[in-house]
Structure 1
Amino acid sequence: MQAAGVISHAHLVFHLSRSIKKTSLPRASSTSPPPLSSSLATSFSIAQVAAASIAMAVQPSMETQAAPANSSPPKDGRSAEEKAVEDWLPINASRNAKWWYSAFHNVTAMVGAGVLGLPYAMSELGWGAGIAVLVLSWVITLYTLWQMVEMHEMVPGRRFDRYHELGQYAFGEKLGLWIVVPQQLVVEVGVNIVYMVTGGTSLKKFHDTVCEDCKRIKLTYFIMIFASVHFVLSQLPNFNSISGVSLAAAVMSLSYSTIAWGASVDKGKLENVDYSLRATTTPGKVFGFLGALGTVAFAYAGHNVVLEIQATIPSTPEKPSKKPMWRGVVVAYIVVAVCYFPVSLVGYWAFGNRVDSDILITLSRPKWLIALANMMVVIHVIGSYQIYAMPVFDMIETVLVKRLKFPPGLTLRLIARTVYVAFTMFIAITFPFFDGLLSFFGGFAFAPTTYFLPCIMWLAIYKPKRFSFSWFTNWICIVLGVLLMVLAPIGGLRNIILNAKTYKFYQ
Structure 2
Amino acid sequence: MAVVLPIPEYAENGPKELDAGSLFVLKSRGSWLHCGYHLTTAIVAPALLSLPFAFTLLGWIGGMICLSMAALVTFYSYNLLSLVLEHHAMLGKRQLRFRDMARDILGPGWGRYFVGPLQLGLCYGAVVASTLLGGQSLKFIYLLSRPNGSMQLYQFIIICGGLTLVMAQLPSFHSLRHINLVSLILCLIYCACTTAGSIHIGHSNKAPERDYSITGVGINRIFGIFNAISIIATTYGNGIIPEIQATIAPPTTGKMLKGLLLCYSVVISTFFSVAISGYWAFGNQAQPSVLQNFMLDRMPLLPKWFLLITCIFTFVQVSAVSLTYLQPTNVVLEKRFSDPKKGEFSIRNVVPRLISRSLSVIIATTLAAMLPFFGDIMALFGAFGCIPLDFILPMVFYNVTFKPSRKSIIFWGNTIIALVSTVLSLIGAVASVRQMVLDAKTYRLFANM
Same-fold call, TM cutoff 0.5? yes
Answering whether residue 195 of structure 2 is matched by residue 195 of structure 1, we say no
Q: Which amino acid aligns with 2:48?
A: V
SS state of the match for residue 89, structure 1? helix
Q: Contact 1:109–1:388 at 8 Å: present in 2 too?
A: yes
1:361 alignment partner, one of 292, 302, 308: 292
In 2, the alpha carbon distance for the partners of 1:503 and 1:299 equals: 24
Shift of 1:346: 1.6
1:122/1:348 contact within 8 Å kept: yes
Distance 1:348 1:282 in 2: 22
CA distances 1:152-191 after superposition (whole Å, capped 9, x unpaired)? 1313222111111011011112233222111101111110
Q: Secondary structure of the equivalent of 2:381?
A: helix
- Paired letter, 1:133: C
Alignment match, 2:298: none
Give the residue type in structure 1 aligned to 2:127.
Answer: N
Q: Distance in 2 between matches of 1:260 and 1:200?
A: 19
Instruction: Supply the AA of the counterpart residue of 1:151.
Output: V
| Cα 1:85–1:344 shift into 2, 3 Å | closer
Mapped pair 1:116 → 2:53? no
The TM-score normalised by the length of structure 2 is: 0.90
- Contact 2:128-2:368 within 8 A present in 1 as well: yes
Say whether 1:259 aligns with 2:193.
Answer: yes
Match of 2:235 among 281, 295, 299: 299
Please state how far the C-alpha of 1:461 moved relative to its aligned partner: 1.8
Q: Does 1:163 align with 2:98?
A: yes
Deviation of the 1:400 alpha carbon: 2.5
Q: Which amino acid aligns with 2:103?
A: Q
1:339 equivalent to 2:278? Answer no
Letter of the structure 2 residue corresponding to residue 326 of structure 1: L
Query: Structure 1's 330 and 257: CA in aligned 2 closer, same or farther, altered over 3 A?
Result: same
**Superimposed CA distance per residue, residues 431-461 of structure 1 (whole angstroms, 9 cap, x where no aligned partner):** 1211233322221211100111111111222
Match of 2:387 in 1: 447
Q: CA deviation at 1:402?
A: 6.8
Whether the 8 Å contact between 2:10 and 2:94 is mirrored in structure 1 is no
Give the aligned length.
424
Structure 1 CA distance, aligned partners of 2:424 and 2:305?
Answer: 39
The match for 1:396 is 333
1:371 paired residue among 304, 308, 313: 308
Cα displacement (A) at 1:66:
4.9
* Inter-partner Cα distance in structure 1 for 2:22 and 2:332: 14
CA-CA distance at 1:65 after TM superposition: 4.3
Q: Is the 8 A contact 1:170 1:176 kept in 2?
A: no
- Name the counterpart of 2:213: 276
Q: 1:498 to 1:85 in 2, by over 3 A?
A: closer
Contact 2:21 2:331 in 1 (8 A): no
Q: 1:470 aligns with which of 405, 410, 425?
A: 410
Is 1:96 the counterpart of 2:29 in the alignment?
yes
Instruction: Give the CA deviation at 1:401.
Output: 3.7
Relative to structure 1, the CA distance from residue 436 to residue 205 in structure 2 (aligned partners, 3 Å threshold; closer, same or farther) is farther
Check whether the contact 1:439–1:491 (CA below 8 A) recurs between aligned residues.
no
The 5 A counterparts of 1:88-237 are 88-91=23-26, 94-155=27-88, 156-213=91-148, 215-237=149-171
* 2: CA distance, partners of 1:295 / 1:219: 24
User: Contact 1:198–1:435 (CA<8 Å) still a contact in 2?
Assistant: no
Change (3 A) 1:84 1:463: closer
Residues 401 and 407 of structure 1 are in contact (CA less than 8 Å); yes or no, is this contact kept in structure 2?
Answer: no
Question: What are the superposed Cα offsets for residues 237-291 of structure 1, whole Å, 9 maximum, x if unpaired?
Answer: 0112122221222222221111111111122254642111022x21221121111
1:494 paired to 2:434: yes
* Cα 1:83–1:112 shift into 2, 3 Å: closer
* Residue number among 348, 353, 359 corresponding to 1:419 in the alignment: 359
1:464 aligned counterpart, secondary structure? coil
Among candidates 14, 24, 31, match of residue 75 of structure 1? 14
In structure 1, C-alpha distance between the alignment counterparts of 2:375 and 2:185, rounded to whole Å:
23
Trace 1:321-340 onto structure 2 (pairs within 5 A).
Answer: 321-340=252-271
What is the match of residue 246 of structure 2? 311
Amino acid corresponding to residue 172 of structure 2 in structure 1: N
Distance apart, 1:133 and its partner CA: 0.6
Gaps of 5+ in 1: 1-63, 68-73
Amino acid at match of 2:101: L
Shift of 1:408: 5.0
Identify the match of residue 290 of structure 1 among 222, 226, 238.
226
- The CA distance in 2 between the partners of 1:126 and 1:85, in whole Å, is 49
Change in 2 beyond 3 A, CA 1:283/1:331: same
Deviation, structure 1 residue 150: 1.0
Residue 494 (structure 1) shift = 2.4
Matches of 1:160 and 1:84, distance apart in 2: 13
SS of alignment partner, residue 160 of structure 1? coil
Letter in 1 for 2:24: L
Secondary structure of 1:268's partner? helix
Partners of 1:87 and 1:298 in 2: CA distance: 27
Separation (CA, whole Å) in 1 of partners of 2:133 and 2:65: 28
| Unaligned segments of structure 2, at least 5 residues | 1-8, 296-300
Q: Tell me which of the two structures has the higher relative contact order, counting C-alpha pairs closer than 8 angstroms and 6 or more residues apart.
A: 2
2 CA distance for matches of 1:350 and 1:168?
Answer: 48
Tell me which moved more, 150-159 or 379-388. Answer: 150-159
CA contact (8 A) 2:46 2:318 kept: yes
- 1:375 counterpart letter in structure 2: I
What letter is aligned with 1:325? Answer: M
Mean CA deviation greater in 284-293 or 150-159: 150-159
Contact 1:249–1:380 under 8 Å retained in 2: yes
- Deviation readout 1:454-498 (Å, 9 max, x if unpaired): 111112222211121111111121012112211222322222122
Over 3 Å counting, the alpha-carbon distance change for 1:451 and 1:85 in structure 2 is: closer
Q: Secondary structure at the match of 2:212?
A: coil
Question: AA paired with 1:237?
Answer: P
- Map Cα deviations across residues 190-232 of structure 1 (whole Å, 9 max, x no partner): 101111111111111111112224x321111111101111211
Aligned to 2:4: none
- SS of match in other structure, 2:124: helix
- The answer to whether the 8 Å contact 2:173/2:324 transfers is yes
Is the 2:213–2:284 Cα contact (8 Å) retained in structure 1? yes
CA contact (8 A) 1:66 1:169 kept: no
